[in-house]
Amino acid sequence: RKKPSVPPEKPVAKKQKLSGESSRPGAGGSSKAANTKTEDGMFQIGRMRYVSVRDFKGKCLVDIREYWTNQDGEMKPGKKGISLNPEQWTQLKDQMSEIDDAIKRI
């Protein structure tokens, strides 16, 4: 079944840095596409959904995750999401055209 189409999203207010994250040189500055990359290297893919590349216990991970806003207005990572290692990320990218074809068939 097809899900109903989602209306375009409202512009998102400037995000606060997540607690525990350090600022990285070069992470800020100009973004290539408006409202898709925040200063801390998070790429917005939907309302409160982001892709980020991070280091966890010495391992590189591509994190696709929903976020929520606490009472202080800070964005926090939610439970809904997945972290892919570089090999899994490559496998996903390699299968993207097949996934697109499957979407078109539904």
Q: Where are the domains of the chain?
A: 42-105
pTM above 0.75, yes or no: no
What's the pLDDT tens digit per position in 56-95?
999 999 999 999 999 999 999 999 999 999 999 999 999 9
φ/ψ (deg, to 5) at 84? -110, 135
How many Cα atoms are found within 13 Å in the side-chain-facing hemisphere of 72? 7
- Cα dihedral across residues 74, 79, 85, 91: positive or negative: negative
Assign a CATH topology to domain 42-105: Transcriptional Co-activator pc4; Chain A (2.30.31)
Q: CB count, 10 Å around CB of 52?
A: 19
The tokens describing 4, both together, are 């109903």
The pLDDT, as a whole number, for residue 41 is 81
Q: Compute CA distances 18 → 22, 38, 40, 103, 104, whole Å.
A: 9, 11, 9, 34, 37
Q: What percent of the chain has pLDDT over 90?
A: 60
